[in-house]
Structure 1
């Protein structure tokens, strides 16, 4: 049964007619973290020092040229941005080729998985407001599909048969801070309880500060953190993106 909130939002299972809107929101929900990750990486003392060193080198080599100083420093910032973009864009491409390639088969046709969308009425028409999916760990093949941020299979050896993993939670930007993320997460928790799972696992990145705060308020605890992603280790090192794993016992 659809759930309602005070701005007339409903949560229901995914339908084939949702695909284009879901893919668009899913893409936005991942790539929106590129800029926050970039600014966070560039604020690190090491990157600040390197950027200033490059700027100084440009200034000296250019004969006291402020233009070359700016270009040299900007080149380092551009490299860091590329690394951040490569991590999120690579993750997006992988998910679109795997789980998101056939939402019906990968989520709704499997009894231990599910995919929900949230809608809000705008000018008399329903508009996609958010999406969320859960992949249960009761079936071995599904644990092979859920590959996480590091490009390899998620370590579910101790979780198989007892845990669910939140595949992704995305809220449309204009509709944030209205409690929708909390409602969707509670929906995932309810689903996992109905499936007899003992805990819900979430993986996110350090740039997703608001989501991490929300999960903590809902009783999730951080169980691990690492900087290993699917990308080349130097790309991961320069991007300085940490993968945060959080769990809630049900």
Structure 2
């Protein structure tokens, strides 16, 4: 039976009773990036060439065997998929054992942090259809992280003229599939900007992975600029290289 959906939604602070729905949406929101990352990696010209070369090697070594060619190509593709899955799955597990293990203490007990849910009516029941957290950070923390990043800084004025003071960092913005392309992600981000302005933060930052093209586009439309791109995905560096996944850092001055 098709779901009867009311496309109106409300954004409010997280409550402990919503934990199960929030965690479920968080899991789905992280792991859904695996397939786009895999297809993006495999469509890279270098990987296309490697796939053809490996398949040809299998064909030759197998005595002109098409099966061997397909097997070798499939083995290479499986390796790339495993790398993509490991990067996102390890990130998800790390977050579930840290800040997402106790959302109330990680976000609500600190006045510089916040966590919100977007709710909508589905078949007469209120369901969580979007989530977002904001964590207050200091310039010292940002500087230490920046020194550890691999890769360069894009020519952004924000990166070159960093302002002293605290800033907010978006955490775990996820919107359920039926509510996408309805500006819910933008509304959640504006909520984060309002919160940061009230706290006196100088800017709002967000870290994304390069396959998240829709999210990157949304942030750009909201006035965020990319200040860095680096290969430190906090996973195995060789997995990141094979999967061709970079971390993208974006910021907006408030």
Task: Normalising by structure 1, report the TM-score.
Answer: 0.89
Q: Does 1:112 align with 2:116?
A: no
Corresponding pairs, count: 237
**Is the Cα–Cα contact under 8 Å of residues 120 and 128 in structure 1 kept in the other structure?**
yes
Q: Does 1:126 align with 2:126?
A: yes
**Is the Cα–Cα contact under 8 Å of residues 138 and 161 in structure 1 kept in the other structure?**
yes
Residue in 2 aligned with 1:3? none
Q: Does 1:242 align with 2:219?
A: no
The Cα of 1:159 is off from its aligned counterpart by 6.8
Q: Does 1:215 align with 2:230?
A: no
Q: Which has the higher contact order (CA 8 A, sep 6+)?
A: 2
Q: Deviations over 1:146-197 (max 9, x none)?
A: x89x89xxxxxx6774200001200001110011001000000000000001
Task: Normalising by structure 2, report the TM-score.
Answer: 0.88
**Is the Cα–Cα contact under 8 Å of residues 112 and 138 in structure 1 kept in the other structure?**
no
SS in 2 for 1:7: strand
Q: Deviations over 1:93-146 (max 9, x none)?
A: 110111001100010010000000001111211111100000012598xx59xx
**Is the Cα–Cα contact under 8 Å of residues 112 and 135 in structure 1 kept in the other structure?**
yes
Residue in 2 aligned with 1:9? 9
Q: Does 1:162 align with 2:162?
A: no
Residue in 1 aligned with 2:90? 90
**Is the Cα–Cα contact under 8 Å of residues 7 and 179 in structure 2 kept in the other structure?**
no
Measured on the aligned residues, the alpha-carbon RMSD in Å equals: 2.4
| Structure 1 unmatched ranges of 5 or more | 1-5, 152-157
Residue in 2 aligned with 1:230? 234
Q: 2:199 aligns with which of 195, 200, 212?
A: 195
Residue in 2 aligned with 1:205? 209
**Is the Cα–Cα contact under 8 Å of residues 87 and 236 in structure 2 kept in the other structure?**
no
Residue in 1 aligned with 2:156? none
The Cα of 1:63 is off from its aligned counterpart by 1.5
Q: Structure 2 CA distance, aligned partners of 1:217 and 1:31? A: 25
